[in-house]
Amino acid sequence: MPVPVLERAAAEMLDWQGTGMSIMENSHRDKKVVAMAEETQAVLLELLGLGSEWKVLFCQGGASLQFAMIPLNFAVGEVADYIDTGMWSTKAYQEAEIVGAKPHLAASSKADDFTYIPREYKYSEKPRYVYLTSNNTVRGTQWPSFPQDAPAPLIADMSSEFLSRPLDLSKFALVHAGAQKNVGPAGLTIVLIRPDFAETARKNVPHMLDYRTYIEHDSMFNTPPVFAIYVAGLVFKWLRDEIGGLAKIQKLNQAKAEYLYNAIDQSGGFYRGTARVDSRSPMNVTFRLANPDLEKTFLDEAKKANMAGLNGHRSVGGMRASIYNAVDFQAVKTLVDFMAEFQKKRG
């Protein structure tokens, strides 16, 4: 989380907009809360350069609920194409099967341990949509560009890279992102959806799983995660007003990632990146040590040096530096300096 956002939220914790209460104590039907949610939607669309052809929905349940909600709305009994690039797209495929869709695997990088983004696809004849995960936290890969030849609208889970770079969403019908990486506290899931696509959803979907419910009630069919929406709005304004937009944050993110990847590549093999160079993620830098026996020591010493969260996902091990928007360049430099000192002592 950006420090200015945390400071603003802390300052308003006891008295939000002169109400004498935290925003968490105000009714979600209160005019000021409704206005806050509407402004948050507007600033997000402004950041992304999108217009009224898109709707911003505030959902709950994380990306994991979207894995089921998407096929439940659009593909029960129908074919949908999935591009598998790791754990989260695999889970999305499995959830589609559970709800009664007919997912078709259009491409997968599983055979090479999900170290790259596929460039060739075998689409089905008439898929309902084509689903992908744009940034893969576990394997440290990211789509540098999206398919242009898909035979159906694209849908993407962008949770771990949302708002880290400008995006061309002209080929997409729906994008979803859990807030807890680049946007705000856990508990909020942002969905961007084209209303005309939402209208093609099947009938008799339970209200809280029907995108049309969120559109019709402006995400307030029930009590939404008000505090998370409020903090997300502060983050959006920070990106717009203090950073200068998504093109600027992309440059900052690229500089951080290049600095860290260079340290890995120039270590003489002591450190080894796990993702192919052409598929590397600027958000999640995954790497191993040439000597696996040193990895626990590396993590233990890093923690003593006040660097937490460097362990890789439990399913793959190794190291992972998640350098999201709010992580500044100095933090990355501190890590690189530590890596150099560790290599000097242990190499």
Q: Which of 185, 174, 336, 344 is nearest to 265 (CA)?
A: 336
User: Of 16, 84, 181, 256, which is the active-site residue?
Assistant: 181
Residue 191 tokens read as: 């969905």
User: Of 54, 88, 143, 238, which is the active-site residue?
Assistant: 88
Q: Which residue has the tokens 């979207």?
A: 66
181 is catalytic: yes
238 is catalytic: no
Q: What gap in Å lies between CA 239 and CA 35, rounded to an integer? A: 20
333 is catalytic: no
Query: How far is CA 26 from each of CA 15, 112, 281, rounded to the nearest angstrom?
Result: 10, 51, 40
Evaluate whether 249 touches 164 at the Cβ level (below 8 Å).
yes
Q: What gap in Å lies between CA 279 and CA 117, rounded to an integer? A: 6
User: Of 55, 84, 143, 157, which is the active-site residue?
Assistant: 157
Q: What gap in Å lies between CA 210 and CA 202, rounded to an integer? A: 9
Query: How far is CA 115 from each of CA 108, 146, 273, rounded to the nearest angstrom?
Result: 10, 17, 10
The strand ranges marked E within the chain are 55-59, 79-84, 102-108, 130-133, 135-136, 141-142, 154-157, 172-178, 189-193, 271-273, 284-289, 319-322
List active site positions. Answer: 88, 157, 181
